[in-house]
């Protein structure tokens, strides 16, 4: 049995973003219950040279929408990266989830051999659709989702593995 590019990408990305919304919701509730200024969490970092929580959310969102667009051969929407509050971060994640849900399997399936070039600061990187998804998108996406979780957990938000994983199917 084979798995399609659609099955390996969009449902996985939607689930990760949905679970991140739950994690952010728990952080927001924790801040309210403990009377902690929410920006303590949204600007939180694991180390001084790491990006803050807000940027982790931006990058997870951008990675997901960029993946769908590149695999489908369309232009991804541009987001302004202005979100600073939990409410704004939730809205961004929901906007990204809604965008991903617009794609149909026929737009993504068969993209394994699409040529994809990413323009990076260090120069362009070329992928096939499959190597882009498996070697770049998924590891990058989960790195930033995990880092967001870790920032909040490190700052005392009561989170567990099932918050990260979401409902097991």
Domain ranges of the chain: 5-165
Three-state DSSP class for 167? coil
E strand map for the chain: 115-120, 123-128
In this predicted structure, the answer to whether residue 80 has a pLDDT above a threshold of 70 is yes
Topology given in CATH for the domain delimited by 5-165: 1.20.120
Give residue 1's pLDDT band: very low, low, confident or very high (50, 70, 90): low
Give residue 166's pLDDT band: very low, low, confident or very high (50, 70, 90): confident
pLDDT at 10: 98
Cβ partners under 8 Å of residue 117, min gap 6: 124, 125, 126, 127
pLDDT at 3: 84
pLDDT digits (tens, 9 = 90+) for 111-147: 999 999 999 899 999 999 999 999 999 999 999 999 9
Nearest in space to 108 (alpha carbons), one of 1, 2, 11: 11
Q: What is the mean pLDDT of the chain?
A: 96
In this predicted structure, the answer to whether residue 169 has a pLDDT above a threshold of 70 is no
pLDDT at 2: 79
What does DSSP assign to residue 160? Answer: -
In this predicted structure, the answer to whether residue 163 has a pLDDT above a threshold of 80 is yes
């Amino acid at each position: 049995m084979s798995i399609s590019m659609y099955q390996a990408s969009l449902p996985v990305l939607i689930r990760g973003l949905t679970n991140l919304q739950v994690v952010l919701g728990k952080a927001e509730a924790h801040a309210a219950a403990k009377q902690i200024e929410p920006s303590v969490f949204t600007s939180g970092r694991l180390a001084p040279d790491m990006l803050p929580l807000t940027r982790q959310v931006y990058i997870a969102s951008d990675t997901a929408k960029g993946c769908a667009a590149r695999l489908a051969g369309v232009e991804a929407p541009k987001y302004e990266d202005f979100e600073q509050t939990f409410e704004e971060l939730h809205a961004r994640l929901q906007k990204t989830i809604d965008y991903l849900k617009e794609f149909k399997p026929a737009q993504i399936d068969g993209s394994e051999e699409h040529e994809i070039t990413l323009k990076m600061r260090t120069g362009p990187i070329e992928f096939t659709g499959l190597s882009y998804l498996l070697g770049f998108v998924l590891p990058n996406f989960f790195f930033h989702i995990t880092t967001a979780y870790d920032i909040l957990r490190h700052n005392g938000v009561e989170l567990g593995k099932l918050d990260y994983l979401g409902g097991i199917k």
